[in-house]
Amino acid sequence: MPVDCDARLSAALRQVVQAGEARIGVAVSGGSDSLALLHLCHGLGLACHAVTVDHALRAGSAAEAAQVAAICAGLGVPHQILRWDHGAIVGNLQDQARRARYALLADWARGLGLARVMIGHTADDQAETFLMGLTRAAGLDGLTGMRPSWVEAGVVFQRPLLGQTRADLRAYLTRAGVVWIDDPSNDNDRFARVRARQVLAVLQPLGLGVAQMSESIAHLASAQQALQAATLAAWEACGQVVAGAVQLRLSGFAAQPVEIQRRLLLAVLGWYSGGDYAPRAQKMATLAEAIRQGADATLNGCCFRTTSDGLQIYREPHAVKNLCVATSDIWDNRWQMIGPHAPDLSLRALGAEGLAQLPNWRGLAIPRQALLVCPAIWRKDALIAAPSAGFLNGWQAKLVRSVNQSILSH
């Protein structure tokens, strides 16, 4: 082990920590990767706030969370345990646990006013993700590994140790006399990631290990960035958002290579739904064929309508029909309302009943399909405001993310 290993690990953190940044959240499970991240952040003198998510999926998880709390207390680092209170879990356990974990972490960070949370994933996790992508016959986007950073629910999540191996981190902890917790679920081969880890151990002696896969992932990520740049240029050339609906100039869209068309449609779908997973390739192929034929289509809660000069993409009314939240909440993963919030007000789609209360809507030059699914403020059955439809009444509607961001995060 090189004597400058600790300095190299610390340097990985310095690349993402802004100068003078005061407070940073650190997610700590008690395993070697997250404990190393905690000790490195503490060693840099950062004002850390640590958090542990107890998924409550096995006996002993609460005791392990308490053990992490004791470690943080010894370092003088504030620590909180978040428990996932779930009922019966149906479907993909690890996916649901992941979603719950990041939702809890985001709520915790916002409550403390923390702008970012560090996650201790490593190059080993990258290699495992790469192998899992191969088992699904994934394309480029499925083989570029984990994102180094992303924004979720207004919080920046970062993985500053993706270029470091688990072996390096464990050697660092061993030298520091730190004992980590071994999660028994990491040996349960009913999980795809555990099976990938086992395969990785077999491939390593053959010269196909973490280092080689990390290099391939870096090459693929570079190609992905080039395609993202081309997709962004295509969007800026032929796309726009009007009242929350997407309009693509058909001639400009049709002039793009098929792969850029596909990526642009995927980015728009992701922008609307906020979903983590793209539609399957066959569904995207069916959508592309419908667009070429000039036929209407629906996919992932969106309606596609081809006109003589453009492709119009709206939210499907059924997708937001029953979506009703407080006016201070984000609506349909995209909309934030600014105005005189009150507990007797609600935020839901304008719909036909709201449009009927706006007799001058036809003068807006906005398609009816777009207005029906735009956000509106209601007091029971009385329409209070619909900013996207020109009825402000002291309110503003703001899109919390752009199609550009969806393209770059695809």
Look at the pTM and tell me if it is higher than 0.85: no
Exposure letters 75-89 (e unless 16+ CB within 10 A, then b): eebebbebebeeeee
Strands (E) across 217-290 are located at 239-242, 245-249
Position 51, amino acid? V
Position 377, amino acid? I
Count of C-beta atoms within a 10 Å radius of residue 346:
18
| Ramachandran region, residue 390 (left: φ > 0; alpha: ψ -120 to 50; beta: rest) | left
Residuewise pLDDT in 10s, the chain (410 residues): 333 457 788 888 888 776 556 689 999 999 999 999 999 999 888 899 999 999 988 888 999 999 999 999 999 999 999 999 887 777 777 788 888 999 999 999 999 999 899 999 999 999 999 999 998 888 898 899 898 988 887 789 999 999 999 999 999 999 999 999 987 777 778 788 889 999 999 998 999 999 999 999 999 999 999 999 999 999 999 999 999 999 999 999 999 999 999 999 999 999 998 766 678 889 999 999 999 999 999 999 999 999 887 999 999 999 999 999 999 998 998 999 999 999 999 999 999 999 999 988 988 889 999 999 999 999 999 999 999 999 999 999 999 889 998 898 76
Closest by CA to 121, choosing from 153, 149, 142, is 149
Rounded (10°) angle between helices 192-203 and 123-135: 100
Q: How far is CA 268 from CA 239, 246, 262, 276, 287, in A?
A: 10, 8, 10, 13, 13
